Structure 1
Amino acid sequence: MLKQFEKHFTELGYQAPTAIQTAVYDAMVGDKNVLGLAPTGSGKTVAFTLPASANLLPGDGTQLIVLEPSQELAIQTSRVMRDWGKLLDLKVVALTGGANVKRQTERLKKRPEIVVGTPGRVLNLVNDRKLKLHLVSMLIVDEADDLLTGDTLDTVREIAQATPADVQLGFFSATDTPILHELDKWFGQTVERVDVRDQDNTQGEVRHGLLQVGMNKRDQMLKRLLAMPNFRALVFFKQSSTLRKTATRFYHDHVSAAGLTSDLRQVQREKALQDFRQGRIRLLLTTDVAARGLDIPKLPAVINYDLPDKVNEYVHRVGRTGRMGEPGQVISLGDDHDLRDLKRLLKDTDYDLVPLYFSGRELTTERPTAATVKANETAKAQRVTATASTAGQTAATATKPKAGAKANAKATVKAETPNPSKKKKHKNRHTKNKGMRKKWRDHDAQN
């Protein structure tokens, strides 16, 4: 590791490199193609940033391309790489869909050494000859299990073909998929496989709970969970339409929540994510657009409002909590049938799914008894009664008149109360004007 990196590593409070950071450094510095597999939250961004940046030359144009699956992840990665790149005078530009193309084109004229972007926007700028790849020496494909599927695979391959033939390749992922075993076939180069998922110990203690809740009561359950102190959660939905309904309902009910979907403008998406990171909102409602790579420090919980259909989806969703040694809680909502399906889906994994119950403003693994439920209801009733009594006393104190002023108040009210039998006399505007005209006529006659 370069001396500049070692010093900054210490300044950031890191004790030692993670397993993936150690495993891929020498191979990448030695110009080898690498596939790095490591759990979520294990520092994969820094793992490819340090060796990739060490081989770049400041002022020599764009030499490194990093592809990310979403706008949020591309912006997050660009910030991390910019933090490390400034130590070597390297410039970093983010190219994402939804952002202003002209502004991005102007930034490319400054010839940044590192470009981080989403595949669609990067390829568009390459085809428009705004982004030139003839000097690129390394191409990093982050979240490779996601990017190397469907139409995105073709887009990534087109970008790779636009780079020099000897370009160095780096692939990083938290989960393994069949295509990651066929990279030499798809990209025409041998790729060294580095898998540290069994060696990594950066994951904190994460509890995986099943909370039986019907579809019509899930919004209400989210509100109840907010009664717990210091509770914040990333809430995953399958459909944007369901998310929007919940977000609208929460907005009208003044619930501390915001939505993050792919159809929002980039400015709106950034604001929602920033508000959630800084604690201004407590629930961030999102689809799987936020399931990959996003780093939200000390996130207490992840909630599956809608359960995932694939194991990899579950892995990436729950990977947002319990990062870098922090504890975390996963809460999967569903009816009895849904939860059975989830258990069946994850039966071959190491996840220990435990039934959860919400009782007395807290989550518990013990099924509430009838006595417990009655005690909680009694306590709730007492709190409501005490609140109402306090409010009533406050109102009575505020409205109770002084003894000396009581008679005067009655007299005043009596004097001001109109007599319904007497009609209010209205002046005739026409008569008044007629009198004024006569007055002015008499005045003119005298003069």
Structure 2
Amino acid sequence: MDNQQLTPFLQENWQAAGFTDPSLIQTEVFEPITAGKNLVGVAPTGSGKTLAYLLPLINQLQPKEANQLLILTSSQELAMQVVEVARTWLKGSEIKVTSLIGGANIKRQQDALKKKPEVIVGTPGRVMELMTSKKLKSHQFKTVVFDEVDQLIHGQNLQLIQRILKSLPQTIQRLYFSATADKVLTEIQQIDEDLVVVDVSHEDTSQGDVAHFYLETSERKKVDNLRRLLNIPAFWGLLFFNQLSDLGAAEEKLLFHKLPVASLASDQNKQLRKQAIEKLKKHQLVGLLTTDIASRGLDIDAMPFVVNVDFPKSEESYLHRAGRVGRMGNEGIVISFVTPPELAEAKKTAKKLGITIEPVYIFGGALTTEKPEVHPDPKSKKKKSKGKKRK
């Protein structure tokens, strides 16, 4: 891909972003997407997958022609992230993008569709709902993108995706993207046979230097260790939990200690979730407590830390959580809290992912890889009785 192949407004936005060379996935998929191929794109987290499909597709959009491009995402957060990126790169054009996500006001979304946006970004449930009610004219679409496809073809989402595909024109261009799409390639090919596979996950070098550590703790002391981490001056980042109930309890305790934290949970409304993400981006928070809802699509510039307060339940989950740091060449640190019984499993997961995971400690208000010496407390020794023994 050469930026001279882009339309003038995209070239200006390329220069404004300070880009020099495209990433590997952006280079490899530009020509096949431009040629109208149906494609599976696989690349590491933080390697520029969103722009990999957006640039060639925006490059071909026709202004004032509604519903040309449909982008389906696995979460509301990812949808809003894609909308934000698309709007940045559409500056200087007349092309409009709108979001269709669950949890948002459907009447406003219907009104937005009346303005005939060229690009639609949405979650499967809300998109299907608007297609069924004929508010979204599915026959007009020329391309559909499935972002984080491995999440979109699981559970209830799979049925929605199959219904949406049946509603779209048979000639529509179909693009599937994810960091772990290679693991579900067989499932993707079951719903779509005619596909070019572009996998750069082994050749891509855009991932920054990410260090992986584990901090051994008991279940009872997790929040206390989290509090100590959040008090380290340079610390700010995402804090991952497996259960919403544990997240809520930890947030309550941290707020009691007057630490600037917030939560990002599936039971919150869209506005609260958006505010929490914005506050973290503006460094108004030292920690955003969340679940795997935020492990995909969230792109927070140069965020230094990810903490697995609860160790991820799968290798994919670890990969996507860790992918929030080290994006586009930045450095990052991943710290996983592990209880003694979890340690062997954590090391096994790290080995499967091909990463080195080392112990880390909090000592003297800082992180250290050297195990602190524990000196016995002299006050804990029993004092000898000075009185005479009773007979």
TM-score range, shorter chain: over 0.9
Is 2:300 the partner of 1:296?
Answer: yes
Counterpart AA for 1:227: N
Trace 1:40-439 onto structure 2 (pairs within 5 A). 40-187=45-192, 189-370=193-374
Identity of aligned residues (%): 39
SS at match of 2:67: coil
From 25, 33, 39, give the equivalent of 1:28: 33
- For 1:145 and 1:261, how far apart are their aligned partners in 2? 21
CA–CA distance in 2 between the matches of 1:239 and 1:226?
A: 20
State the AA in 1 paired with 2:374: A
SS state at 1:123 partner: helix
- Off by >3 Å, runs of 4+ in structure 1: 176-179
Residue 253 of structure 1 and its aligned partner are, at CA, apart by 2.2
1:431 aligned partner: none
Shift of 1:181: 3.0
Most deviating of 282-291 and 350-359: 350-359
Matched, 1:39 2:38: no
Equivalent-residue separation in structure 1 for 2:330 and 2:84 (angstroms):
22
SS at match of 1:80: helix
Task: Count residues in correspondence.
Answer: 372
Q: Note closer, same or farther for the CA distance 1:355–1:327 as it changes in structure 2 (3 Å cut).
A: same
In the alignment, what sits opposite 2:385? none
Aligned counterpart, 2:22: 17
Displacement of 1:302 in angstroms is 0.4
Q: Which amino acid in structure 2 is aligned with residue 271 of structure 1?
A: Q
Preserved contact between residue 13 and residue 91 of structure 2 (Cα < 8 Å): no
Gaps of 5+ in 2: 378-391
Q: What is the identity, as a one-letter code, of the residue corresponding to 1:26? A: E
User: What is the rounded CA distance, in whole Å, between the counterparts of 2:183 and 2:226 in structure 1?
Assistant: 37
Task: Say which SS state the counterpart of residue 311 (structure 2) adopts.
Answer: coil
Q: If the length of structure 2 is used for normalisation, what is the TM-score?
A: 0.92
- Displacement, 1:6? 2.5
How does the TM-score come out when normalised to structure 1?
0.81
2: CA distance, partners of 1:183 / 1:334: 34
CA deviation after TM superposition for structure 1 residue 179, in Å: 3.2
What is the CA deviation profile of residues 27-57 of structure 1, one whole-angstrom value per residue up to 9, with x for unaligned ones? 0000001111011011111111011112221
For 1:83 and 1:363, the matched residues in 2 are separated by 37
Higher helix share: 1
> 1:183 touches 1:190 (CA, 8 Å); kept in 2?
no
Residue 6 of structure 1 aligns with which residue?
Answer: 11
Contact 1:64–1:137, Cα closer than 8 Å, also in 2 = yes
Letter in 2 for 1:46: L
Contact 1:183 1:191 in 2 (8 A): no
Q: What is the aligned-residue RMSD (CA, Å)?
A: 1.4
Q: Which amino acid aligns with 2:57?
A: A
Q: Distance in 2 between matches of 1:362 and 1:119?
A: 44
* Cα drift, residue 131 of structure 1: 0.6
Choose 9-18 or 20-29, whichever is displaced more: 9-18
Please state how far the C-alpha of 1:74 moved relative to its aligned partner: 0.3
Distance in 2 separating the partners of 1:299 and 1:103: 33
Structure 2 distance, partners of 1:272, 1:336, is 33
